[in-house]
Chain A
Amino acid sequence: MSQLPHIPCLRKGQPYQSLDQIEIQGYSDQQTLATVSTVNAGIIRRDLKRIDDAKAALRAFTVEQLIQISAKAGEAFLNETLPLGDKGHQQSPEDYIKTLSSTSGLPHVMVRRNMQKIHHALTHMKTVLTGLTRGLDLSIIDRGYGEQFGTRISYFPTAKALGLVMPSNSPAVNSLWLPAIPLKTPVIIKPGREEPWTPYRLIQAFIKAGCPAEAFGFYPTDHEGAGVILQSCGRALIFGDKNTTAQYANNPGIQIHGPGFSKILIGEDQIDNWQDHLDLMVASIAENGGRSCINASAIIVPRHGQAIADALGQRLGPIEPTCPEDEGARLSGFANPKMAEYIDGAIDQDLGEPGAEDMTAKYRTGSRKVTFEGGTYLKPSIIYCDSMNHPLANREFLCPYASVVEVPQSKMLDAIGPSLVVTAITKDPAFTEELLESDLIERLNLGAIPTMKISWDQPHEGNMFEFLYKRRSIEREA
């Protein structure tokens, strides 16, 4: 067995060792943890031409059987030792946590939480699919047609595979593609450069659970290869900021997962009780290191903005980096220190625009960007903005960051812009009705519910079933 693990490309589940390999290094000590094979776009194009047998391998199972396999995969992912690469290395759950932490900067406690989320999605796949299909008799997918709700129903797949161009910043986003397997759709994954670990481990868990290996394509590749995955699978997901995803904005075959711009809105009727909701605001801003698209990045209130911002600054400002093993760790390191530098610079630059104040500054020891035990961290930032027009009022960064802005309740929905999650703390029926009618909000939490709370029976960001299947009308001779 060679000393370093080598993670191969998987071509319909078969390992392929490329002559082009990159090294994955720890973010703080630059220690090489594995080599990863990378492949050119042409290899992906050729494999996609022969993807039909991968689909056929999944079609040999019923959805119900694949739900059972998913559940076993969930247990294996969370609890078992699984193969890591093609050189005989094995990875225990603890190994996975340590390795992912050392390359992503996520503290162990957050990796564990992400693992739990993925485990939950896999072991509750029936619930997930019930939510996605709105209670469809899943055997209709097996047969292609059937009768339910007193009507004939037929669905057909929209894609030969689901393409995924994954990010490196948060392992739980892998839970988005998991329903594709019980929905009998092969996955073609380009992992994030620093995060091959989670998709590779998930694939190994599925295979161990009895899923056909052909269902999995794992292609560390370049920009051109990512383009092939996005354009050639039929359906694909891409993660990234506006610069990365803008070119796909009008492509119905590509689902964009960009910044969430998630928010907390407090209504006139509840604003005087804002102190009751401080814990909720802190959790929504800072859980998971502030890295999720469902972290709140703006608190919109009709009044008390300065006081709320100051209270949040007081709670979040003193947070310091800790060692990754610390169970109380709240900040994530940056795998790419230049990203931290960019964010720090962008916040400082826009603070130069009149009308914004860094409310964490006076509670923070030292600067926002710090180096700790070789890693680079950004401490939390709460920015009070005097208007939603300020450049910092509706921003999202890969760290605990939120603006606090005063906006009259009657103007809030005109001001928020597209928002992945909105937690609206109000009991006002008229405001509630306005919120329910808004087309800007993907997931609406009515009441004191953190933005980070998601429901597996309700998709908060695109519906994977509706993405991968389309209903057709059908008549069949009796």
Chain B
Amino acid sequence: MSNESVSNEAIEQASLQLDAHVQEIIKWHFSPDTGCSFWLDWASKAGWNPAEEIKGLDDLISKFPHFQDEWLRDLQPEVWVPKAFQGQPFNVFETGGTTGMPKQRIGWSDYKVDYSEFSEKISDEHFPRNHYWLMMGPTGPRRLRLAIEHLANVRGCSCYFIDLDPRFVKKVIADKQFDVARSYMDHVVDQAVTILKHRQVSAVFTTPKLLEALSEKLDLWDAGIRGVFCGGTTMDPQYTRFLVEEVLENRIGFYPTYGNTLMGLAASVPIGPEDNYSISYYAPQPRAVLRVVDPKETSQVMDYGQWGRVELTTLTKEFFMPRFLERDEAIRKQPRAPYPWDGVAEVRPFGAMEKKIVEGVY
């Protein structure tokens, strides 16, 4: 199905579903019976009523400003609790790799919904059921840790964890302490090698750089690995090809993902030489919408095949976040089966062509 196009009918149908979902979520968050105090206060000052005026995505784009990340840093978490969830303890998740006060998102079961759905997109051949997984990556306050464990559990599996602190990695790289970064990376990878040598594991979640480092210390196939999903940092086409052909030897399943605490998980369509190893990701629409916008005129989407800044809108009953400008840029891609909506490809840090970005191993 790798290159299947999507019918116009399917695209139209998805668009209608999205508009209906937008309307439902806006009503939820801007109704005093169900909404959270942040959005209700915001609407009272905005001078217009989103619950009445937003009929679909186009309205949302034209009427809401960009979501400010300071709101997730500066405000206490309870302002984001929808009334319908009041009294229910929540998870506090933090975003990945920055220093200082992190962005925080609260949640209850969104991550389970995302990852249960994602489970349907990975094959039993690469991710055998009722077996064991290993996650080597950021655990701590991140949604990803619980999400991966949930995904494993959904498939009848249990998961080993090796933690990686991306904030520490970014700090030492920014300070040019490359030896420290290398040593920390070795420390993390060595722990994974130990697990793989002593336990039966068939699936790995990790970052591209850690995957490469792991493969230099043992033969992944011989260690029993049959599927890898991977995310967190840039994978340009040549690096993706390197991972597929050389690290995974064209025989271990490779599932790149793009996501974060604010969005959830965007799955990729199968990649291969026919795509020139360009990875395209598709948001879990309608719960999240990704657009590739003109950095200078963010109300405008770029043409297909053009680079632009990634804009994320999150639309669940737990969390509403309109038009958040990610620190990423990507190529806008056409809908592709099984996703009848736009995708984003070759995601990399925003401004990567102009300046060197510290990404580290996460």
Q: Which residues of A contact B (CB under 8 A)?
A: 18-20, 39-40, 42-43, 45-46, 49
Residue from B212, B247, B277 with most neighbouring chain A CB atoms (10 Å):
B212
Select one of B236, B246, B276, B277 contacting A43, CB under 8 A: B246
CA gap between A46 and B213 in the complex, in Å: 11
Interface size for B (C-beta < 8 A) is: 12
Does B236 lie within 8 Å of A20, measured CB to CB?
yes
Contacts of B276 in A (CB 8 A): 19
B243 CB to nearest A CB, Å: 9
Contacts of A40 in B (CB 8 A): 238-239, 242
Pull 8 A–B residue pairs with CB atoms less than 8 Å apart, ordered by A: A20-B236, A20-B237, A20-B238, A40-B242, A42-B212, A42-B216, A46-B216, A46-B246
Contacts of B236 in A (CB 8 A): 19-20
Q: Which of B202-250 contact A (CB under 8 A)?
A: 212, 216, 236-239, 241-242, 246-247
Select one of A18, A19, A39, A45 contacting B216, CB under 8 A: A45
B49 CB to nearest A CB, Å: 51
Binary flags per residue of B16-29, CB closer than 8 Å to A gives 1, else 0: 00000000000000
CA gap between A20 and B238 in the complex, in Å: 6
- 3 closest pairs, A vs B, by CB? A19-B238, A20-B238, A19-B237
Given contacts A42-B212, A45-B216, contact A18 B238 (CB under 8 A): yes
Does B246 lie within 8 Å of A42, measured CB to CB?
yes
CA gap between A19 and B277 in the complex, in Å: 9
CA gap between A279 and B212 in the complex, in Å: 58
| A-B contact sample (10 more), CB < 8 A, given A19-B241, A42-B242 | A18-B238, A19-B237, A19-B277, A20-B236, A20-B237, A39-B238, A42-B212, A42-B247, A43-B246, A49-B216
CA gap between A39 and B241 in the complex, in Å: 11
Contacts of B239 in A (CB 8 A): 40
CA gap between A42 and B216 in the complex, in Å: 9
CA gap between A45 and B242 in the complex, in Å: 12
CA gap between A45 and B277 in the complex, in Å: 21
B346 CB to nearest A CB, Å: 11
CA gap between A242 and B231 in the complex, in Å: 38
Residue from A18, A19, A49 with most neighbouring chain B CB atoms (10 Å):
A19
CA gap between A365 and B74 in the complex, in Å: 64
* Smallest Cβ-Cβ distance to A20: which chain B residue: B238
Contacts of A19 in B (CB 8 A): 236-238, 241, 276-277
* Smallest Cβ-Cβ distance to A49: which chain B residue: B216
CA gap between A42 and B237 in the complex, in Å: 14
Contacts of B247 in A (CB 8 A): 42
* Smallest Cβ-Cβ distance to B239: which chain A residue: A40
Q: Which of B245-304 contact A (CB under 8 A)?
A: 246-247, 276-277
Contacts of A43 in B (CB 8 A): 242, 246
Binary flags per residue of B69-107, CB closer than 8 Å to A gives 1, else 0: 000000000000000000000000000000000000000
* Smallest Cβ-Cβ distance to B212: which chain A residue: A42
Contacts of B242 in A (CB 8 A): 40, 42-43
B149 CB to nearest A CB, Å: 29
A325 CB to nearest B CB, Å: 37
Contacts of A46 in B (CB 8 A): 216, 246
A461 CB to nearest B CB, Å: 29
Residue from B236, B238, B239, B276 with most neighbouring chain A CB atoms (10 Å):
B238
CA gap between A19 and B276 in the complex, in Å: 8
B219 CB to nearest A CB, Å: 11
CA gap between A42 and B247 in the complex, in Å: 9
B327 CB to nearest A CB, Å: 23
Contacts of A39 in B (CB 8 A): 238
A232 CB to nearest B CB, Å: 11
B354 CB to nearest A CB, Å: 17
* Smallest Cβ-Cβ distance to A46: which chain B residue: B246
B281 CB to nearest A CB, Å: 18
Contacts of B277 in A (CB 8 A): 19
CA gap between A121 and B85 in the complex, in Å: 81
* Smallest Cβ-Cβ distance to B277: which chain A residue: A19
CA gap between A39 and B238 in the complex, in Å: 8
CA gap between A45 and B213 in the complex, in Å: 10
CA gap between A256 and B224 in the complex, in Å: 44
A181 CB to nearest B CB, Å: 27
CA gap between A39 and B277 in the complex, in Å: 15
A457 CB to nearest B CB, Å: 42
CA gap between A18 and B276 in the complex, in Å: 11
* Smallest Cβ-Cβ distance to B273: which chain A residue: A19
CA gap between A18 and B236 in the complex, in Å: 12
CA gap between A46 and B238 in the complex, in Å: 15
A18 CB to nearest B CB, Å: 5
CA gap between A45 and B246 in the complex, in Å: 11
CA gap between A42 and B212 in the complex, in Å: 7
B226 CB to nearest A CB, Å: 21
CA gap between A28 and B239 in the complex, in Å: 33
CA gap between A406 and B241 in the complex, in Å: 61
A15 CB to nearest B CB, Å: 15
Residue from A18, A39, A42, A45 with most neighbouring chain B CB atoms (10 Å):
A42
